[in-house]
Amino acid sequence: LKEMDKEERVRACYLHACLKRVTRDYLTNPSLRERFGIDEKNKAMASRYIREAVEEGVIKPFDKSAARKMMKYVPFWA
């Protein structure tokens, strides 16, 4: 993870969202932390990676009215 640049992290977030979508699930902060092996104490790191992917337009919030801690994400095409 530390060797990945921003573009690679955005792509990894997108692919994680796609995988979750085909299994009828959603990308969340905890699911991304599990995928990347990020400790819970480093939640902000996963949040930053999600924010980068949203800014790039490859993922989007599933329900924009959800509380920030409960936010779920899907690929841009979903």
- In this prediction, residue 66 carries a pLDDT of 86
3-class SS at 27?
strand
Q: How confident is the model at residue 2 (pLDDT cuts 50, 70, 90)?
A: confident
Report whether pLDDT(1) > 90. no
Q: Do the beta carbons of residue 33 and residue 76 sit within 8 Å?
A: no
Q: Which tens digit of pLDDT belongs to each residue from 4-55?
A: 999 999 999 999 999 999 999 999 999 999 999 999 999 999 999 999 999 9
3-class SS at 18?
helix
| pTM of the complete model | 0.91
| CA 66 – CA 70 distance, rounded (Å) | 6
